[in-house]
Amino acid sequence: MNFILIAVIVLGAIALVSAVVLYITSKRFAVYEDPRLETITEALPGANCGGCGFPGCGGMADALVKGADAGSIEGLFCPVGGQKVMENVADLLGMTVEKTDPMVAVVRCNGTCENRPRIAEYNGLRTCAAIHATGAGETACGFGCLGCGDCVSACQFEAIHMNPETGLPEVDDEKCTACGACVKACPRSIIELRKKGPKNRRIYVQCVNKDKGPAAMKACKVSCIACGKCFKACKFDAITIENNLSYIDYNKCKMCRKCVNECPTHAITALNFPVKKIVKVEEKTAIDEQPVAENKQEEVKQ
């Protein structure tokens, strides 16, 4: 019995000492967590998409709290929650946030089956990343969409889908949160985040082919050939030409659509604009004008 009692006392003493050591250690090395972190994390949408540039909403909340302590949360934006969520977060932190224009994903390729015919057949893993790693893919264009839908798989909001007729991805403006997941998933960088624009109207070059004109047109009949006509037509310095490719700066574009009319290959796309009405002007014939002349002569005689 003495051995059992001694064992119990020893074990109890060890447990007591261990508990004291753990308590002191927990107090000494405790990590303080700002109570605002939980509040801000709950205010965020919880998508954990990484579109804000941080590893999930927790990382974004931490950056917002630190920014508030530093006196500014400028540059921090949740694309999923948008302006409404950011204004709510700013109120919780006692800060102000600038109004930002909503963004949307844009597919900068018009290489449909009709515009960009297939010249080869790929037999392997059907992902854009795999095909891109092997070379040009099934068409002669080494820059355009590969059509396997890596962007569709990356989107957790079901805002992008493949059109079976064109073989290209299409973005649903209403569902797109501009998280940028599709942009990161595309191995050829044909998807870009651009401003939605007033009334969802946008003008952009729907081509990323950097080959010279003849080679680009051989691969796709709606390629940009860097002819410079759009550049000359733009009066707002919104268009630049680099690496045989035109690009429209959405911050400078005034939506005049002159570049759209000037593009000989129809590589520039204007979305959601009303159709221009064609006004027919009726020309007066000699027969219509003759009675008027006769009436004038009669008035002079009188």
Detail the residues annotated as belonging to a binding site for [4Fe-4S] cluster.
Answer: 49, 52, 57, 78, 141, 145, 148, 151, 155, 176, 179, 182, 186
3-state secondary structure of 159: coil
3-state secondary structure of 249: coil
CB atoms within 10 A of CB 182: 26
As annotated, the binding site includes 49, 52, 57, 78, 141, 145, 148, 151, 155, 176, 179, 182, 186
- What one-letter code names the amino acid at 279? V
Retrieve residue 136's tokens. Answer: 């040009």
The answer to whether 196 and 173 are in contact (CB under 8 A) is yes
Element (H, E) at 68: helix 56-70
Retrieve residue 126's tokens. Answer: 């059907």
CA distance 108 to 268: 10
3-state secondary structure of 80: coil
- Under DSSP, the state recorded for 205 is E
CA distances from 237 to 91, 165, 187, 230, 271 (A): 38, 36, 30, 10, 21
The answer to whether 220 and 115 are in contact (CB under 8 A) is yes
Q: Where are the alpha helices (DSSP H) in 121-180?
A: 128-134, 150-154
CA distance 191 to 165: 19
Backbone angles phi, psi at 107, to 5 degrees: -90, 110
CA distances from 246 to 7, 130, 267 (A): 84, 28, 9
By the 10 Å C-beta count (0-12 exposed, 13-18 middle, 19+ buried), 109 is classed as buried
